[in-house]
Every structure is written in structure tokens, then in C-alpha cells.
Copies of this chain bind each other. A is one copy, B any other.
């Protein structure tokens, strides 16, 4: 009288993907703390035990969820990023995309920030490597910038990476707590500009320094006097 029939045999890839999709679905509905394996299995149309054929445990499932997300993000941006020229533009693009990702996947963001990154096994996880690749693009760009003479040579690329991703995280926690939204465009602009200011060789453009102003006025007076 069992209503549920034996789930048809399926390619492991498909089944894995199904479970991950189900997990993501349940996760976005319930959040981390109320995420129950039974519900994931239900949603995936399999039995609890079957999940454990594909994932060692709940933690691994969580990690895989995040890893897939990171792979998506990285591959999504790859082409566009190559099409963008100029250090400033490229950094601004990464910042903007990161903000968008957080905005679109607040649950996954929290999962990573709050649960996966603090995990003792994080360091040895694939997620760590993916995150390294994801954030490492900033390092890459900064180094290119230094080589091409656009950026100051004594810049720590790693620090720039931390500044970007750290400040974004710090700024978006209120949103992640569901306490309001943020404007990704504006924030990206603002942040990109400040970062750029801190690392580029260019002089301030928007304003003229007081020193220069004084120089100029003095020269003006001299000019008027003697010419």
C-alpha cells in the first residue's frame, strides 16, 4: 500500500544534481538551522538513506552546495571579465558582481560566511580552493596593474583582496539579516573608487590639493606682477 514507488535508477550525476537542487530549495525556504535531511530527501524524491550514497554527511552536502555556487559564479564571470580592459574597470566589475551574488543568494552567502568558513575542515575543502580562485582574481588583477605600471608597486595585492571582500561582507550583514537592501551599483562605485584611490599611481583628479592651489595662486600673483 506504499504510495511511493522505488525511485527509478538514474545516473549518479543526475541524482547528485537532483539532491543538490533539492537541498538548495529547502535551504532557501528553511535557512540553515531548520534544514533537515528528511525534507531534502523528500524534495529530491528519494529516501533519506539515498542521500548518503552521494554525500558522506550533511556537512559535505552543505559544502557541495556552496562549491557549486562558487563554480557557477566563477564561470559566469570569466568571459565578461576577459572582455573588460583596464584595472579599475575590472576591479569594479568584480566588486559589482560580488554584491549582486550576495543580493541574489543571501542564504548561500550566510551559509559560507557563518557556517562553512568557520568550519575546521574549511581549509582542506574544495570550497576553500574555489574561494581562493574567486577572490584570487583580485590579486591577479592587482598584480597585472603593478606590472603594467598602473598601480603602485609596493601594494599588497592580498590586502586589496581582503579590503574588497571584507568590506563588502561587513557592509552587507544587515541585508543578510534581512534588515533592508543595498544598492549594488552605488556601493560598487563607491568602493571601487576608494580602492582605486588607495592603490593607483594617478594623482587625485577630482580635487586639487591645497598645496597645489597655493602654488598656483602664488604663481598667478608673480605672473601678474612681473609680466
Residue of B nearest to A161 (CB): B170
Kindly state whether residue A89 has any CB partner on chain B within 8 Å.
no
- Chain A at the B interface: mostly helix, strand, loop or mixed? helix
The quantity of this chain's copies bound in the complex is 4
Kindly state whether residue A198 has any CB partner on chain B within 8 Å.
yes
The answer to whether B209 touches A202, judged by C-beta atoms less than 8 angstroms apart, is yes
Which residues of B are found within 8 Å of A198, using beta-carbon distances? 194-195, 197-199
Which residues of B are found within 8 Å of A199, using beta-carbon distances? 194, 197-198
Which residues of B are found within 8 Å of A221, using beta-carbon distances? 223, 227
* Those of A163-211 within 8 Å (CB) of chain B: 163, 165-171, 173-174, 176-179, 190-191, 194-195, 197-199, 201-211
Bound-state CA distance A146–B206 (Å) is 15
Bound-state CA distance A161–B197 (Å) is 16
The segment from A18-26, A79-87, A151-159 found at the interface with B is A151-159
Kindly state whether residue A58 has any CB partner on chain B within 8 Å.
no
Q: Which of A173, A191, A225 has most chain B Cβ within 10 Å?
A: A173
Contact A165/B176 with A198-B195, A206-B154, A222-B226 known, Cβ cut-off 8 Å: no
Residue of B nearest to A191 (CB): B159
The answer to whether A205 touches B201, judged by C-beta atoms less than 8 angstroms apart, is yes
Contact A118/B110 with A222-B219, A223-B221, A225-B226 known, Cβ cut-off 8 Å: yes
The answer to whether A216 touches B214, judged by C-beta atoms less than 8 angstroms apart, is yes
Give 22 A-B contacts (CB < 8 Å), ordered by A residue. A114-B118, A118-B173, A120-B177, A120-B178, A149-B210, A162-B166, A165-B166, A166-B166, A166-B171, A167-B167, A197-B198, A201-B205, A202-B209, A211-B216, A215-B219, A218-B219, A221-B223, A221-B227, A222-B222, A222-B226, A222-B227, A225-B227
A residues sitting closer than 8 Å to B (CB atoms) are 110, 113-114, 117-120, 122-123, 149, 152-156, 159-163, 165-171, 173-174, 176-179, 190-191, 194-195, 197-199, 201-216, 218-223, 225-227
Q: A162-B171, A201-B205 are in contact. List 15 more A-B contacts (CB 8 A).
A: A114-B114, A117-B173, A152-B204, A152-B205, A153-B207, A159-B167, A159-B191, A159-B194, A163-B191, A169-B169, A198-B199, A203-B208, A212-B212, A214-B216, A219-B219
